Structure 1
Amino acid sequence: MSLWKGRGELVMRTKKTSQKQQGRTGRESNLLLSRNVKVSYNTWLSKLGSLNCLVIGGTGEGKSRGFVKPNVYSLPVDPRDGKPVSFVFTDPKGELCHETAGFLEANGYEIRVLNINEQHFSDCYNPFRYIRSADSLLIMVDSVVENANGGKTPTDPHWSNSAKSLLNSICYGVYYEFAFKDQNFTTVSELLNMCGFSEGDEGYQSDYDIWLEHLAETSRMGEEHPAVVWRRKVSATGKEMSSIISTAQTAVRLFASKDVQRLTNVDTLAMDTIGDRPTAFYIIIPTTNSTYNFLISLLYTQLFESLYYRAQNVFDGSLPHHVTFFQDEYANVGKIPDFDKKISTFRSVNLSTCMIVQSPNQIETLYGKAAADIMDNVHQTVFIGSGGQGEKSATKWMSNALGMKTIQAEQTSVHRSKTVDLFGIDGSTVEHSYSATQRQLMTQDELYRLPPDRCIVMIKGQKPFLDYKMDPDDCLNFSSDLFTVQGKHGRELKPELLYPINDKDLEHPARKRTADSYRRGVEQSVEIDREQKERRRKDMEEDEKYDPVPKEPMEPEVKPIQEVLRPGEMGHYEPAGCHDGRRATVEELFDEEESGGK
């Protein structure tokens, strides 16, 4: 039962209805917003513009337990075709992965994990794996440089723009001229270290400039090689060049770490296939350290680009499996370039996002004017509680979002008379008047005092709902035999299904995830190298058929840098087992390469 509060401004549930049934299993076809409010994954049926959702809640208000977990345990499917929904989670601390990944894996999901906290329990992510065009390379560099300073706009954009041009040149050189196994940010860092300057010599050429001259002379693209063209855009010398190099080095500084190199030299995430089959992708990030935010922002940027590319070029404009993003601590993952434009077209490619924040003002701080466009494409809002009462607090924002309601104000006027009639009654009169006035539907103070089991749901085109939060104990499948009744908060996943995220966890097939991923990534890189070499050979044979001018045969690959420069000036980082034909052991993969990687 529901009734109208005030003048029909707020739908309020009058009693707590429970759906708990022992052994109740199955699959949900809706995005669960609260206990009694949900929206269909078929937005064409529900007439909603999109499934994009904003969840607002302070620390300890139950964002994971009261929103994310119920949507996971319900195993949602798209009602149009019955296909399971894929998930992408931003998972601070890794608790969500620990408690839900085993459940999803037991129900047929592929599990992929990027674990920044414990990198030995992570899959590998190489940004170069997701470059398909010149534009995607520029987007990659733009994301790296923009998030080097937390996504803040620099006071003088000259230095960041020049650093982007220099990194564009280097990344194009790596992408076009290096074997696939060497296409990574480790190589980018090495080439950047070859860049130099001389204060007194304007004609000074660094080792990197010498290599570019070699490219211009030997490459088929000649002077039009993108690496050469972008290097020309950086015409600085002396101290100015030093500042540009320093800005570029700051942007890629973390790739000098061996742990980050192991994490990013190969790729086993295959993020572009998340919409091909039921997949759960967990991105575990530090809660207090923002050092790796640029890497997470880059990952999201490339993930969106890859899913869009696959939807439009592999499938008929839409992914076969709907992909929902649960982006906890959304404002802490860094700025995603052009996110305001991407979110407006999520629906068309079968994507949706649930942005989970402590206050909407965090989005405005991160995206500035673009935040308004992002919020315009959010059609569901769930407020689960906040402890702030300031001018920029979540309660203030929510109070304004709920709007005003009309109330009847009664006024009573008494007019006393000094005269008394024959019956002893004076001539005093009482007048009652009524006037319509407005007040906030819920004030900041009322939102601050919202009971801990209540939430407010707003859906486009509907009046707001005051409802109860969801409880995982009431969800589909939570009473199945995958769970045990023991636990601090009721039912919990059986210990053998808890997913390992650090050395304290029990033995599990995914325990040494990075070792297996790295080896698999190296094998994939070698195979791709063979394919690329064969493709280059066929391209050259095709060119020779139509080239009327005889020319010397050209090798399909540019000479290694070691042959171009003076011996001993640099050494590449090369994974163990790439060149001697044997499979590397786990110990070899994780040993520090003291001898320069060979």
Structure 2
Amino acid sequence: MNGTILGMVDRKIIYQNNDTKPNRNVFVVGGPGSYKTQSVVITNVFNETSNSIVVTDPKGEIYEKTAGIKLAQGYQVHVINFANMTSSDRYNPFDYIERDINAETVATKIVQSENKEGKQDVWFSTQRQLLKALILYVTKEKAPKYRNLAGVTQVLQENDVESEDPNDPQSPLDKLFLDLKFDHPARSAYELGFKKAKGEMKASIIESLLATISKFVDEEVAEFTRFSDFDLKDIGRKKIILYVIIPVMDNTYESFINLFFSQLFDELYKLAASNHAELPNPVDFILDEFVNLGKFPKYEEFLATCRGYGIGVTTICQTLTQLQALYGREKAESILGNHAVKICLNAANEVTAKYFSDLLGKSTVKVETGSESTSHSKETSTSKSDSYNYNSRQLMYADEIMLMPDNQSLLVFSNQRPIKAKKAFQFKLFPNADELVHLKQNDYQGKPEQDQLDKLEKLEQEWEQSITDKQSKTEEQQESKEELDNTLAMMNADSKNEEEFEEDYENSEDNDRVGFLD
């Protein structure tokens, strides 16, 4: 079955198919112990058998329990493991730099990793411009094997920021960039940023940048970012499941993880743009622990437009306050509004509970207001009157939502009545899944796709050809210079001979005159 399983009602599956309007985005909120993994994530990983899937996997649990089944379903399995980069496919963000603005995006994300939002001052801007210049330099002026973060670090280590000659104000780093053509993008970025810094500020900026990228100098990380084992666009071309394992209780690589997803979104949009605004193979994103992926500047725009390209997104948070803290109340509302379905597995706080209570709206209830009276006389008599009022009340109050049973959930739709449903536990829908062989995340070994190796070979050939062309051009220039020097030398020699001839001629005339006078 294709589509997203939302829950169960009367033992029947409620699901959202791939043609659902206005979109097939699902927002899920559920705190610890709400069965997010068992009733949403694993259930839908098992269920989808056609679309590509990108699933965040905070502990590697999803990979271990589902990868064997996805292989049996005909999926290519890839893993990007930010928690253990030796058990991962490799990812080089420089491979997706096609324009100067892409280099700025990469530089911004990396510099942000050590600079808290709100403190993006001149130091931040200058670091970013310098890193952008270095990225553009290695991607355009270095051999393919150096077009990565390790290559950037090497350039910084090899070129001092201080001049070695007291009579020459230009440092080795200055000369590296100023020797480039005037309109070279790396030179422009360098001159408009770091080059304008003065005195001790330069050394401080270099020191800060080295501290920022020091985490990428580590041998494990350097190897992880050296090469891309698969093309991100392949997720929209082929039947692939990608597990993105993210560290638990460690935000060291949060900005790097955010960069990965930002580039993935961009690459899928580029692929769709070249394919009549539609992906060759639709893609489902299941983003568990969404707030741990960092802040995406235009996530609401992505949600609003992704359906047309064949993309569906399930955004999963523990509470609404998490989303509001990261994006602000206004943007959080916009993000929520771009999910056609909202699911409450449980409400871990009052803000979340009240939000869903308001979404459910009010209901009219019939309230009996009858009365009974007894009169004491010779014969006791009783009179009774029945009357009713119709009152309005919340369909579910916030406290009722917070006290929901563990197996219950609320489904709220943008264009249908809400439903009180049972959770779609994977162990009930797919009871034999646990009998299959489970894979171990630390046993995974990335293997480069042949297309990527072919692409690298082509780049190396182009690089070698460019070196050959430069050498040939240099030799031609040298030969031209030698020919010019020879021509000038001959011209000088001819000129000298002519001067000597004229001098000899004048001397001979003088002799003739002397003889004549004698």
Residue 93 of structure 1 aligns with which residue? 59
Q: Distance in 1 between matches of 2:169 and 2:361?
A: 65
Aligned-residue offset at 1:358? 0.3
Matched residue type, 1:196: V
Aligned-residue offset at 1:212? 0.7
Please point out which of 523, 526, 530 is paired with 2:461.
530
The change in CA–CA distance for 1:457 and 1:539 in structure 2 (over 3 A counts) is: farther
The change in CA–CA distance for 1:538 and 1:351 in structure 2 (over 3 A counts) is: farther
Is residue 51 from structure 1 mapped to residue 9 from structure 2 by the alignment?
Answer: no
Is residue 228 from structure 1 mapped to residue 187 from structure 2 by the alignment?
Answer: yes
Q: Deviations over 1:131-184 (max 9, x none)?
A: 2222322222222233444xx522353322222211111111112111222100
Aligned-residue offset at 1:366? 1.6
Aligned-residue offset at 1:432? 6.8
Q: Deviations over 1:509-566 (max 9, x none)?
A: xx4614x54999778534421145547989999xx9xxxxx96799xxxxxxxxxxxx
Q: Is the 8 A contact 2:3 2:48 kept in 1?
A: no
Matches within 5 A, 1:250-261: 250-261=211-222
Residue 124 of structure 2 aligns with which residue? 160
Q: Is the 8 A contact 2:113 2:252 kept in 1?
A: no
Q: Is the 8 A contact 1:411 1:433 kept in 2?
A: yes
Q: Is the 8 A contact 1:414 1:429 kept in 2?
A: yes
Residue 491 of structure 2 aligns with which residue? none
Q: Distance in 1 between matches of 2:360 and 2:123?
A: 44
1:274 aligned counterpart, secondary structure: helix
Matches within 5 A, 1:480-519: 483=432, 491-495=433-437, 498-502=438-442, 511=443, 513-514=445-446, 516-517=447-448
% same residue: 26
Matched residue type, 1:61: S
Q: Distance in 2 between matches of 1:535 and 1:354?
A: 46
Matches within 5 A, 1:467-478: 467-475=421-429, 478=430
Is residue 353 from structure 1 mapped to residue 313 from structure 2 by the alignment?
Answer: yes
Q: Is the 8 A contact 1:99 1:493 kept in 2?
A: no
Residue 503 of structure 2 aligns with which residue? none
Q: Distance in 1 between matches of 2:144 and 2:479?
A: 23
Larger radius of gyration: 2
Q: Is the 8 A contact 1:118 1:501 kept in 2?
A: no
Residue 122 of structure 1 aligns with which residue? 88
Number of equivalent positions: 468
TM-score, normalized by length of structure 2?
A: 0.81
Residue 338 of structure 2 aligns with which residue? 377
Residue 199 of structure 2 aligns with which residue? 238
Gaps (5+ residues) in structure 1? 1-27, 77-83, 216-221, 484-490, 503-510, 545-549, 555-598
Q: Is the 8 A contact 1:301 1:337 kept in 2?
A: no
The change in CA–CA distance for 1:539 and 1:345 in structure 2 (over 3 A counts) is: farther
Backbone CA RMSD of aligned residues: 3.4
Residue 389 of structure 1 aligns with which residue? 349
The change in CA–CA distance for 1:331 and 1:512 in structure 2 (over 3 A counts) is: closer
Residue 362 of structure 2 aligns with which residue? 404
The change in CA–CA distance for 1:538 and 1:208 in structure 2 (over 3 A counts) is: closer
The change in CA–CA distance for 1:539 and 1:347 in structure 2 (over 3 A counts) is: farther
**Most deviating of 117-126 and 524-533:** 524-533
Matches within 5 A, 1:422-461: 435-461=389-415
Gaps (5+ residues) in structure 2? 481-518
1:326 aligned counterpart, secondary structure: strand
Q: Is the 8 A contact 1:66 1:470 kept in 2?
A: yes
1:29 aligned counterpart, secondary structure: coil
Aligned-residue offset at 1:128? 1.0
Q: Is the 8 A contact 2:28 2:342 kept in 1?
A: yes
Residue 105 of structure 1 aligns with which residue? 71
Aligned-residue offset at 1:441? 2.2
TM-score, normalized by length of structure 1?
A: 0.71
**Most deviating of 396-405 and 202-211:** 202-211
